[in-house]
């Protein structure tokens, strides 16, 4: 199962301490994923993130651990984050710049190249 989430830009309320999956994803993930999940990036590094399943407002929220994961990969507004559910506790995460190219070197994002 795969889906993507666009990192919100400044016009949206931006909460860097957590991130919600798109609403349509709720029914796909609800009850199928553990509270402690591993985010695996394209170079194979893994990060532990707390996943909160909120039936009250039908939201899946990435909380504790998400800011660290986000900062470590220099996520930017309008990046496309593609989540592939590998098993009930692991997501493979690919990052695409809004220019269309996949981000493979997360440390070089401050250079001249847009991605
Ligand atoms: Zn780019």
Per-residue pLDDT tens digits for 69-114: 998 998 888 899 999 999 999 999 999 998 888 998 888 776 566 7
Contacting residues for 45 by C-beta, under 8 A, at least 6 apart: none
Ligand 1 center to 16 CA (angstroms): 22
Q: Hey, which bits of the chain come out as E strands?
A: 2-6, 19-20, 36-40, 46-54, 59-62, 80-87, 90-96
- What is the model's pTM? 0.90
Ligand 1 center to 10 CA (angstroms): 18
Question: By C-alpha distance, which of 21, 13, 91 is closest to 61?
Answer: 21
Confidence tier at 9 by pLDDT (50, 70, 90): confident
Position 111 scores a pLDDT of 59
Ligand 1 center to 101 CA (angstroms): 6
Ligand 1 center to 69 CA (angstroms): 20
Q: 3-state DSSP helix/strand/coil percent for the chain, to nearest 5?
A: 15, 35, 50
Helix (H, G, I), strand (E, B) or coil at 70: helix
Topology of domain 2-98 in CATH is At1g16640 B3 domain (2.40.330)
What is the domain partition of the chain in residue ranges? 2-98
Instruction: Give the integer Cα–Cα distance in Å for 71 and 61.
Output: 17
Instruction: Give the integer Cα–Cα distance in Å for 75 and 44.
Output: 17
Ligand 1 center to 20 CA (angstroms): 24
Instruction: Give the integer Cα–Cα distance in Å for 69 and 71.
Output: 6
Ligand 1 center to 55 CA (angstroms): 36
Ligand 1 center to 38 CA (angstroms): 26
Contacting residues for 72 by C-beta, under 8 A, at least 6 apart: 47, 106
Ligand 1 center to 77 CA (angstroms): 12
Position 104 scores a pLDDT of 87
Segment 13-67, tens digit of pLDDT: 656 678 999 999 999 999 999 999 999 999 999 999 999 999 999 999 999 999 9
């Amino acid at each position: 199962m795969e889906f993507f989430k666009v990192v919100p830009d400044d016009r949206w309320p931006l909460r860097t301490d957590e991130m919600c999956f798109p609403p349509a994803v709720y029914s796909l993930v609800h009850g199928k994923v553990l509270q402690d999940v591993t985010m695996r990036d394209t170079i194979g590094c893994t990060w532990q993130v707390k996943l909160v399943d909120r039936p009250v407002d039908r939201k899946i929220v990435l909380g504790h651990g998400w800011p660290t994961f986000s900062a470590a990969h220099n996520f930017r507004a309008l990046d496309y984050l593609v989540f592939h559910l590998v098993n009930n506790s692991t997501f493979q995460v690919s990052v695409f710049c809004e220019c269309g190219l996949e981000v493979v070197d997360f440390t070089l994002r401050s250079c001249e190249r847009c991605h």
